[in-house]
Amino acid sequence: MPVRSKTALRMRLRTNLIAYSLIFPGLLVFYLFVIYPLLQTVAFSLYRYGGVGSLFESTFVGLRHFADAFVDEKFGRAIVNTFYFSIIHTLTKLTLAFLLAFFLYRKMTGWKWFQVGLYMPAIVPIVVSAVIWRFIYEGNFGLLNYLLRALHMERFQHYWLSEAATAMNAVIVSSVWFSMPFAMLVLFSYMLRIPNDLLEAAKIDGASTRQIVAHIIFPLMIPALLLMSILSIADDFKGYAYILLFTNGGPVGKTEVVGLYAYKQAFSYGNFGYASALSILVLAFLIVLSLGLVNRMKKNQFEF
Amino acid sequence: MKQKFRAVSLIIACLIVLAGCSTNNAAQNGSQAKSEEGKQPSKEVTLKVMHWYSYVTDEIFREFERQNPGIKVDNQYVAFGDPYFVKLKGLANTNELPDIVALGGRTEGTYDLIAQGKIMDLNDAMSTPAYDSEETWLSTQSDVLMNSLNSLFDIEMDDDALKPKNGHQWALPFGAISLSVIYNKSIFEQVGIKEPETFEQFLENNDKLKEAGYIPLAHANKEWGSWWLTTFLDQTARDVKTDDFVSGKVAVDDVRLREAFEIWEDMIKRGHFDKGVVSAGIDDAQALFVQQKAAQFYIVPENFVKYLVDNMPEGVKLGAFVLPGAKGLPSRSIGGSSNKLAVSAESEHPEEALKLMKFLTSNTLFQLLSKDNVVPSLKGYQPPEGDAIMSAYAKAYENGFAEGHFPPFSPEILNIDELNSGMLIGEYTTDDILKKMSEAWPKEPNNKQSQK
């Protein structure tokens, strides 16, 4: 090898060594907390494992768990519940977040106080949120029914968490309450990037507020909305903690989502293998969904 | 050269930091204190106990320590449910199982722990003296609870050689789930009803309470969903044992089971429970009772009686009665064998651990727990003198303990609590439930007939 090439190679190796040594801690954390658990989940999904003792001493079942998932009625029910929850939750959350972000964007009097106030639900711990909302929805002495009675609207009273027709919607409302503020903040910060020139030009041309929102602000916000949609849907499919605390999937599985179902399979029933298989199926779905939405996002990207 | 040295030093520093994050197993195990060079090792022994019983406090263990100098107890309370069993499995996998643990059932890994040799066989120790008596340890324990515990192990364990029927004792019952109905005397007086002596009177009382605008029965369905059903099964299917379903002697849709479900369904249809009962937890049910919206509450005494007594409005008196048997048989408490303690086979101090285990299943301990209204899992129970409520529990205790009368379904195959909840919201009838049970039984791992 010519001398110059050797020197260049050595220089490159030295530069790379420094670079890799600097990112090594981060890579190690990434491997330990993301890659390794993922590989372990794949391994679990191939065995009938109860969580005690060595995995490899358990019964190897191959892809049996995946096959079982496709005929599992309760898993099917959980998927339907999750789709319903995710679609309604995401649409409601983002609509509300967009409207409130625009409200803040208008910078009316006291908007900074509103910004803080509207964000408050996001900082309430999830356990506290679940307890508060359970008492709001409680049928006999809950706040919601009390208000309905006070407004002489008794016919709208329900046992919100005990009735099949109302339980999931009650969960969605409370989920929107604590998840919307973050989306509002992201959309608001995105709105702030919109050049004022565009809006002023539109106003000079005689555009109304509704036309400005519909034809300028909203189209420019599409990448942010798509991003928030991906995050929201992924959270809804992964999440279980809030519903576990709130309704535990009841009544009779009406609010049981896939995350909670997988959690119960692992930690309540001791079926770690099956729970891992369910998690992998959900992961595969989310990867496909995310790739689709990210592609869409790229097409709608604007440079300001 | 300097940069290479810096890069290598950075990598080594990161690895050292990561290595330092590991736990020191020896320091965390209940081992003897390590001695420094030249010093004599301490003779003090530290035992670890992990459980979910909130009434088993540090004071209880201080009393044990006072009676047994040289033994210290590290009391670890973990809330019941997933947090407890996940921790238990984690500790078992890292060979750090506490000396004494509370155990669950099959899905909580109990039989895996036994199969892997992590639980001590107490069979030989049962013939040694009890903690506070010259009688054998075995003879001080409740026969019914012991039989109930061991028969469930016999049914659910896979390894025949390890089953209690082949000479093993893996755990002992801890406390007895003794149930009675606590009621609001003021409401009873107002409505003009008395303590029922028959089940029909009990149902009539409930109807009258409902007419008067009260919720007849508070019920914590989230935690105790199947208690009523289990109580009725003990009436209608008293001669049916869990093993009868396994052996095929009794069908899962037997008429005796149907009868129990019909009694339960009848109470629901008559509106004897709150409409929101399906999502009600202990706190919801307690709140209904304390706010005098509900007139009666079918509960265990430990933790709850004291809460109700302390939080009722001033002037309100409480009473308690043993639930009259739905078929006229003495109403038995649903057994406490679901609460059980075991000793770790990996304990570094097996003798001391056994001593502590004997203490935890002794009359001495249950006398200490009597202020918390805990009913012991021992032979003979005397309630505190003058305590009318605990007297009702004592009567319930005297009637004995119900054994299992339900097919041993694994919750992932058929969840009885979910069926129960379905009945509460009117989604399932008795016919629906029996049909589901018949369909699920062939897939049940505990159904040895279909596994052949």
Residue A156: CB partners within 8 Å, gap ≥ 6? A148
What average pLDDT does chain B have? 87
Residue B37: CB partners within 8 Å, gap ≥ 6? none
The predicted pLDDT at position B249 comes to: 92
Tens digit of pLDDT for each residue in B90-131? Answer: 999 999 999 999 999 888 899 999 999 999 999 999 999 999
- Does one domain contain both A29 and A126? no
Chain B residues in contact with A27 (beta carbon < 8 A): none
- Does one domain contain both A10 and A71? no
Indicate whether A111 belongs to any domain.
Answer: yes
- Does one domain contain both B317 and B269? yes
CA distance A64 to A49: 13
- Does one domain contain both A239 and A106? yes
Mark yes or no for CB contact B14/A28 under 8 Å: yes
- Does one domain contain both B345 and B427? no
The predicted pLDDT at position A3 comes to: 59
| Residue B49: strand pairing partners | B75, B100
Structure tokens at A110: 């006291």
For residue A194, the domain's CATH number is 1.10.3720.10
Indicate whether B11 belongs to any domain.
Answer: no
Q: Is the peptide bond before B69 cis (omega within 30 degrees of 0)?
A: no
CA distance B253 to B274: 28
Number of domains composing chain A: 2
Beta strands A59-60 and A47-48, pairing class: antiparallel
Indicate whether A222 belongs to any domain.
Answer: yes
* Minimal C-alpha gap between A79 and chain B (Å): 17
- Does one domain contain both B328 and B348? no
- Does one domain contain both B125 and B63? yes
- Does one domain contain both A34 and A144? no
Alpha-carbon Rg for chain B in angstroms: 25
CA dihedral for A178, A180, A183, A189, sign (positive or negative): negative
- Does one domain contain both B424 and B358? no
Beta strands in B34-99 (DSSP E): 45-51, 71-77
Q: What 3-state DSSP class applies to A194?
A: coil
Chain A residues in contact with B425 (beta carbon < 8 A): 162-164, 251-252
The residue behind tokens 């309430």 is A124
Nearest-5° angle of CA B134, CA B135, CA B139? 160
CA distance B335 to B239: 16
B contact test, residue of A52, A127, A268 with most B CBs within 10 A = A52
Domain that holds residue B274: 180-334+404-451
- Does one domain contain both B326 and B426? yes
CA distances from A133 to A130, A238, B220 (A): 5, 21, 18
Indicate whether B26 belongs to any domain.
Answer: no
The predicted pLDDT at position B9 comes to: 72
- Does one domain contain both A76 and A212? yes
- Does one domain contain both A8 and A89? no
pLDDT, mean of residues A140-146? 92
What residues of B are in the A interface, CB distance below 8 Å? Answer: 3-4, 6-8, 10-11, 14, 18, 82, 85-86, 89, 92-93, 106-109, 112-113, 116, 215, 222, 274-280, 284, 287-288, 291, 293, 410-412, 418, 421-422, 424-425, 427
Per-residue pLDDT band at A266 (split at 50, 70, 90): very high
Indicate whether B325 belongs to any domain.
Answer: yes
* Minimal C-alpha gap between A270 and chain B (Å): 5
What average pLDDT does chain A have? 90
The predicted pLDDT at position B36 comes to: 39
- By CB atoms closer than 10 A (0-12, 13-18, 19+), residue B251 is middle
- By CB atoms closer than 10 A (0-12, 13-18, 19+), residue B337 is buried
Indicate whether A53 belongs to any domain.
Answer: no
Number of domains composing chain B: 2
pLDDT, mean of residues A107-132? 85
The interface pTM score, or ipTM, of the predicted complex is 0.79
- Does one domain contain both A182 and A264? yes
Indicate whether A288 belongs to any domain.
Answer: yes
Query: In b/e form, how buried is each residue of B413-437, taking b as 16+ CB within 10 angstroms?
Result: bbbbbbbbbbbbbeebebeebbebb
Return residues 227-266 of A near B (CB < 8 Å).
Answer: 247-248, 250-253, 265
The predicted pLDDT at position A303 comes to: 59
Indicate whether B9 belongs to any domain.
Answer: no
Mark yes or no for CB contact B293/A250 under 8 Å: no
- Does one domain contain both B58 and B153? yes
- Does one domain contain both A94 and A31? no
Indicate whether B203 belongs to any domain.
Answer: yes
- Nearest to residue A185, comparing CAs of A302, A68, A98, A279? A98
For residue B340, the domain's CATH number is 3.40.190.10
- Does one domain contain both B324 and B439? yes
Q: Does A162 touch chain B (CB under 8 A)?
A: yes
Indicate whether A57 belongs to any domain.
Answer: no
- Does one domain contain both B155 and B69? yes
Nearest beta carbon to residue A21 from set B11, B112, B425:
B11
Mark yes or no for CB contact A50/B109 under 8 Å: yes
Indicate whether A59 belongs to any domain.
Answer: no
Domain that holds residue A150: 64-299
In which residue ranges of chain B is pLDDT below 50? 22-41
- Does one domain contain both B151 and B198? no
Indicate whether B33 belongs to any domain.
Answer: no
- Does one domain contain both A13 and A160? no
- Does one domain contain both B111 and B218? no
- Does one domain contain both B219 and B317? yes
Q: Does A50 touch chain B (CB under 8 A)?
A: yes
Higher pLDDT, A252 or A302: A252
Nearest-5° angle of CA A161, CA A162, CA A164? 95
The residue behind tokens 């110059």 is A4
Indicate whether B185 belongs to any domain.
Answer: yes
Q: What 3-state DSSP class applies to B331?
A: coil
Indicate whether B382 belongs to any domain.
Answer: no
Residue A245: pLDDT above 70? yes
Return residues 266-295 of A near B (CB < 8 Å).
Answer: 267-271
Chain B residues in contact with A18 (beta carbon < 8 A): 3, 6-7
What pTM was estimated for this model as a whole?
Answer: 0.83
